[in-house]
């Protein structure tokens, strides 16, 4: 306690601070374990008086020798305690006084010399930390460590609820909001909430009309970077010249030309070009139909099938033909319809070269060459290549013309008249 009183008296004599702030400073210095010696020496240097040095005091206690006058260093050599802008403080004073290391380029202040050294690389462009896998360079070792997980596949941050793992802690923090329902980022315009700040920033452009992403070829601008990438389509297919915004899409598209099907079903051995096709196919074996209609309760294996089915209830037909104005519930239906106007026949027979508008027509035509007749008559066993031919043949056995009721009435009339 005596030390704090001495320190406060000393600071008051220098007119540095009032008594109450001085006591607060004493508490701060105690928290950072500063030594008392620099302040005691500074006080003696500012108020010199005859006394005994440490060696004389020790000798005097044992030998009883007379006091000797101690020479004091010149007052001009002692300096005031270091200010916040000082760049060479002692370790304890550095922590107590806050940001002490200043950047000579931008003036930013940092508390540690190591932080200043790392910060200087922003200005110098130095990147001393190199990835052993791909050679990419980084200014901070922590950035390299996080990047390395891309190559190693390490995901050290696991969700305690669902067990999903992430490469970065910030990704885990964002993911947990899926379970908690937390949406801390609110739109000032409409009040809509978002789980991530980046989503809020993207949403704000709806209100502001900002479109910061510009095409370098044409004057068109976009409010999302993904839209710009789709517009640019820098990755071009060598087979058909179609462009793609990301290389993964090009790789998947190339399988259409090469016929590659790298994803196989473990149950039936059927192969698919895309992994999501395989995932959907496995539901045929498991019977899983996770997508339910809210109107009639009907279930579907694919979300797109549910979406298409919902238009039966809503009556929505969002796909309009530019030629005749006819509307369709599905985009595929519109695409097939347009071929009537354009005359396009993209499906060709490899045997005779005949072309067809629809793939199903080509499939039926191929039976002419293969001799396949998959539709059998239940009455006489005769086989047909097309289902419509089987239906036509069945009238020979049933006498059916338009419907079963019509056939019954006609047969009854014939018997009565005869």
Supply 21's token pair: 């702030």
The answer to the question of residue 89 being in a domain is no
- pLDDT per residue, tens digit, the chain (418 aa), is 445 455 555 555 544 444 455 445 555 455 444 444 444 554 455 555 554 444 444 444 444 433 433 333 343 344 444 334 444 444 444 444 444 888 999 988 888 888 888 899 999 999 999 999 999 999 999 999 999 999 999 999 999 999 999 999 999 999 999 999 999 999 999 999 999 999 999 999 999 999 999 988 889 999 988 888 778 888 889 999 888 878 888 999 999 999 999 999 999 999 999 998 999 999 999 999 999 999 999 999 999 899 889 999 999 999 999 999 999 988 888 999 999 999 999 999 999 999 999 999 999 999 999 999 999 999 999 999 999 999 999 999 987 654 443 333 333 443 433 3
Q: How far apart are CA 418 and CA 416, in angstroms?
A: 6
pTM for the whole thing?
Answer: 0.36
Residues 6+ apart with CB under 8 A from 16: 22
How many residues are given for the chain?
Answer: 418
The answer to the question of residue 116 being in a domain is yes
Q: What pLDDT score does 228 carry?
A: 86
The answer to the question of residue 131 being in a domain is yes
CB 245 within 8 Å of CB 235: yes
The answer to the question of residue 111 being in a domain is yes
Q: What pLDDT score does 56 carry?
A: 41
The answer to the question of residue 149 being in a domain is yes
The Cα-based distances of 224 to 190, 200, 207, 210, 212 in angstroms read 20, 13, 14, 10, 8
Q: What pLDDT score does 32 carry?
A: 42
CB 221 within 8 Å of CB 211: yes
The answer to the question of residue 405 being in a domain is no
The answer to the question of residue 134 being in a domain is yes
Task: Report the CATH number that the domain containing residue 131 is assigned in CATH.
Answer: 3.30.160.60
> Mind giving me the DSSP string for 308-325?
HHHHHHH----EE-TTT-
Supply 118's token pair: 């790392």
Q: How far apart are CA 299 and CA 306, in angstroms?
A: 8
Total tally of structural domains belonging to the chain: 1
Strand-pair partners of 235: 244
Instruction: Tell me how far the alpha carbon of residue 140 is from its chain's centroid.
Output: 22
CB 327 within 8 Å of CB 319: yes
The answer to the question of residue 374 being in a domain is no
Q: Which of 183, 189, 220, 182 is nearest to 205 (CA)?
A: 189
Look up the domain containing 117 and give its range: 101-154
Q: What pLDDT score does 246 carry?
A: 82
Q: How many other CB atoms are there within 10 angstroms of residue 11's CB atom?
A: 21
Q: How far apart are CA 78 and CA 90, in angstroms?
A: 15
């Amino acid at each position: 306690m005596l030390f704090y009183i001495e320190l406060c008296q000393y600071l008051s004599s220098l007119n540095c601070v009032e008594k109450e702030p001085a006591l607060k400073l004493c508490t701060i210095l105690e928290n950072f374990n500063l030594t008392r010696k620099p302040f005691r020496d500074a006080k003696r240097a500012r108020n010199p008086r005859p006394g005994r040095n440490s060696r004389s005091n020790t000798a005097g206690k044992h030998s009883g020798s007379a006091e000797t006058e101690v020479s004091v260093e010149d007052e001009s050599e002692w300096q005031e305690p270091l200010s916040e802008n000082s760049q060479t403080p002692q370790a304890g004073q550095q922590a107590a006084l806050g940001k002490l290391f200043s950047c000579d380029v931008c003036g930013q202040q940092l508390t540690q010399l190591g932080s200043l050294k790392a910060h200087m690389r922003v200005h110098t462009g130095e990147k001393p930390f190199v990835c052993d896998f791909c050679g990419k360079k980084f200014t901070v070792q922590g950035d390299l460590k996080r990047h390395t997980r891309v190559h190693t596949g390490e995901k050290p941050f696991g969700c305690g609820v669902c067990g999903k793992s992430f490469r970065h802690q910030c990704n885990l923090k964002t993911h947990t909001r899926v379970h908690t329902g937390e949406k801390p980022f609110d739109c000032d315009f409409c009040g809509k909430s978002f789980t991530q700040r980046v989503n809020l920033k993207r949403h704000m452009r709806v209100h502001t009309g900002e479109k910061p992403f510009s095409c370098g070829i044409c004057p068109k601008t976009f409010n999302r970077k993904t839209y710009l990438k789709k517009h640019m389509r820098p990755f071009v297919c060598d087979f058909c010249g179609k462009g793609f915004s990301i290389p993964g899409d090009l790789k998947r598209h190339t399988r259409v030309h090469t016929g590659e099907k790298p994803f196989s079903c473990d149950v039936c051995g059927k192969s698919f070009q895309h992994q999501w096709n395989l995932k959907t196919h496995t539901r045929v074996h498991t019977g899983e139909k996770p997508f339910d209609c809210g109107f009639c309760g009907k279930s579907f294996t694919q979300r797109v099938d549910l979406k298409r089915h919902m238009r039966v209830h809503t009556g929505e037909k969002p796909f309009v033909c530019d030629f005749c104005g006819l509307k369709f519930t599905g985009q595929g239906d519109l695409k097939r319809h347009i071929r009537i106007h354009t005359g396009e026949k993209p499906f060709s027979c490899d045997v005779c070269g005949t072309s067809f508008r629809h793939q199903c027509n080509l499939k039926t035509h191929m039976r002419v060459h293969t001799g396949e007749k998959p539709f059998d008559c239940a009455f006489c066993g005769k086989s047909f290549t097309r289902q419509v031919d089987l239906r036509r043949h069945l009238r020979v056995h049933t006498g059916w013309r338009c419907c079963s009721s019509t056939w019954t009435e006609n047969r009854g009339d014939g018997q009565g008249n005869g």
